[in-house]
Amino acid sequence: MQMPQIQLQSSSMKIGLNIDQPVQEIEQKAADQSIEQPRAILEIQITPGKLTIDQTKAREDMDLKSLSKRVEGFAQQGYQDWLAGMARRSQQGTELRHIENGGNAIAVQAKRNSKGPEKQFNLGWIPSHFSVQLDYQPAQVEIEAAPQKPIIDVQVNKPNLTYTPGNVEVEVLQENSLDIDFINLFPDEIGE
């Protein structure tokens, strides 16, 4: 005996997708930039050095005295010679007052007066040590520098964006189906 059967046969739907990918392009230009650096403000003040050379003493040692020093020296020497002359005359007067004591006072005085002082020889043109006086004041330098800040200008450029959207197309490759078959539904009819 055959049993009634229902046979179902189905097929699924098949779909296909055609996809166009989206495209995005980004172009970024570099920023426009300018930098300017002003020069620093620089001030320099110089006080020059000063060298003082005093050779008055060296010139005096070489007998190259100034007029005022020479007059002063002559006056001093004249005063000393005047005092020495007074002492000499006083001594000679005392010797002549005592002429009665004997001796030849006039001849001794004449001989003494005829002799000059003994000459001394020395190199007179060489100045003494450290006779030239030096005084030096060094130069002074003052520097003031004021730095200047840089001037920076930046222009930012916006990016260029290009976008192409994607696309999806759907197509049915196979439609779904369902087939139903009935087998042996009526067994009596089949047997007759």
Write the pLDDT tens digit of every residue in 119-132.
776 665 677 788 88
Percent of the chain with pLDDT over 90: 37
Q: What is the identity of the amino acid at 34? A: S
Of the candidate ranges 14-28, 66-80, 114-128, 129-143, the one whose mean pLDDT is the lowest: 114-128
Q: Which of 2, 7, 14 is nearest to 175 (CA)?
A: 14
The per-residue pLDDT for 148 is 93
Average pLDDT value for residue range 159-167: 91
Residue 68: which pLDDT band, with cuts at 50, 70 and 90? confident
Average of per-residue pLDDT values in the chain: 85
